[in-house]
A and B are shown apart, each in its own frame.
Chain A
Amino acid sequence: MTKYIWFKLFAILFIVGVLIAICVVEDRVVVSSLNEVKNYCYEIEETAKKNGIVDGEVASLVDNLEYSWIVNEGKMCFMVNHKSIEQLGIEIVRLKTYIDEEEPIEFFVSLEIIKHYVETFQHFMGASFHNIL
């Protein structure tokens, strides 16, 4: 085999490897990021129901959620359309405002919206027959 054929073969294997790596990394990053957000949401909901939303622990959990989302959003932006995930960030910011304004109904609505986005997105990103077609 000539040098060029070896190069071609290597390039093809490299491309296949890159594609597999991208798919695996995407799945890992997206699933773990969204699960982290979901877990924070459940924790915030539980604490807020127990102590009310004007509570230091709730505020601290929301801050943690915001920080973790900033970190995870940065990773997800390599693989996901920015517009598809920007609403999640907006809702997290709203949570903080509702704590400051002491609006529990809006706070819980926002929390539900975040959970809904996360679940929808997990469904949307998964490899399924519906998504392929």
Chain B
Amino acid sequence: MLTIVARAIIIYLVVLFLYRLMGKRQLGQMQPFELVLTLIIADLATIPMAEVSVPVLHGIVPLLTLVILHFVLTFLSKISNKFASFLSGKPVIVINPDGIDYKALKNLNLSVDDVFEAIRGCGYFKIEQIQYAIMETNGKMSVLPKSQYAPVTVEDMHIETEKSAIPINIINEGKIVKENLPIADIDESDVKNILEQAKIRKVKDVLILTVDKNGSVYIQKFNEKYQTMQLKPLGQVQE
């Protein structure tokens, strides 16, 4: 049993390392050749794990070979568009201003029901709301609605807004994330001020505290409702 435990650990670490090396794509975003690779890797990894008579190398060698093959294919796809379309296919327009392109559907082996399902997934329930729908190479549908059905944007409304800013975690589950303080342009005394303003005594009582570049603060104690405040000027707290 100890052998199986040790083998499981070794193979887990190898597969984890290889997946990290290959990138962070999720199952739904994979190109066909990436999906094939994932399926084979999953299968290969289990053989030496469960069968003690098979050397671990019999699992690791094909895994490493497949990863090298993956890099070669990815590299070739990057340098040659033709090779990329051979490997992953091309995006296909399935709905155009005239309606559903049945020939394209047949080529993709899709039914009209599949198209309806995909556009419903994009938030549209009527074909006439759609200008173009494109079947992407990863199997997802991208939809461009007709302008009268497109969601209204802030730009359409001519409203002035603040620039968007990413909230930076300053306290996470009771601990100050020190490396984020310079990114948010604050120091520990600012954090103390924020906590005083929010009537919180200890850092360890805070579930989450975020600050963005606009000075917006979000703070929440464990098991309590959140509060928001504005830092202005930077380092001084103002509600």
Contacts and interface: CB of A to CB of B under 8 A. Distances in A.
Interface of A: 8, 11-12, 15-16, 18-19, 22, 77-83
B25 interface: no
4 smallest CB-CB distances across A and B, nearest first, come from: A82-B53, A83-B53, A15-B64, A11-B21
A78 B55 CA distance: 6
A19 B68 contact: yes
Nearest to B52: A82
B57 interface: yes
B65 interface: yes
Contacts, number: 30
Interface of B: 21, 52-55, 57-58, 61, 64-65, 67-68, 71
Contacts of B57: 22, 78-79
Given A8-B21, A12-B71, A83-B53, A19 B64 contact: yes
Contacts of B21: 8, 11
Contact of B55 (A8, A11, A77): A77
Contacts of A82: 52-55
A19 B61 contact: yes
B68 A81 contact: no
Given A12-B68, A18-B64, 19 more contacts: A11-B21, A15-B64, A15-B68, A16-B68, A19-B61, A19-B64, A19-B65, A19-B68, A78-B55, A78-B57, A79-B55, A80-B55, A81-B53, A81-B54, A81-B55, A82-B53, A82-B54, A82-B55, A83-B53
Nearest to B54: A81
8 contacts: A8-B21, A15-B67, A16-B68, A19-B68, A22-B57, A78-B55, A78-B57, A81-B53
A18 B68 CA distance: 12
Contacts of A8: 21
Contacts of B58: 81
Nearest to B58: A81
B170 to A, nearest CB: 27
Contacts of A12: 68, 71
B79 to A, nearest CB: 15
Contacts of B64: 15, 18-19
Contacts of A79: 55, 57
Contact of B61 (A11, A22, A80): A22
Contacts of B67: 15
A8 to B, nearest CB: 7
Contacts of B55: 77-82
